[in-house]
Amino acid sequence: MSWSEFKKVLGEAAGEMAVSYPFVSIITEWRYKEDDEALDAIAEYVAGATPTGLEKMDKYLREATVNEHSSEQRQRLVVFYACFKYLEAQKTGRFSARW
């Protein structure tokens, strides 16, 4: 790999990190809350999110769920994801499966 190719790949990775950070940060906050508080926070997020924000959160919440190694935490994230998808469908009037 040439230096210019390496810089391009590095730049793309850094760009993706910058885009993902706000979403990963929000998901991390939800994980540290009690279940009821987390579900309320998810509802608040969905209510205020743009369609693009919903699409991106769907991607990062799904990835966090799939990549979680702890079965207990993964089960909790599945509940968060299901809640998110239900509220998204209520807000937009459609269900979009991206799994």
Sequence ranges of the domains in the chain: 3-92
| Per-residue confidence (pLDDT) for residue 10, from 0 to 100 | 43
On the CB side of 67, CA atoms within 13 Å amount to 7
Percent of the chain with pLDDT over 70: 76
25 CB neighbour count, 10 Å cutoff: 10
73 CB neighbour count, 10 Å cutoff: 13
| pTM, rounded to two decimals | 0.78
**Spatial CB neighbours of 58, under 8 Å, sequence gap ≥ 6:** 84, 85, 88, 96, 98
Angle of helix 35-48 relative to helix 3-32, nearest 10 degrees, comes to: 120
The band of 49, judged by pLDDT with boundaries at 50, 70 and 90, is: very high
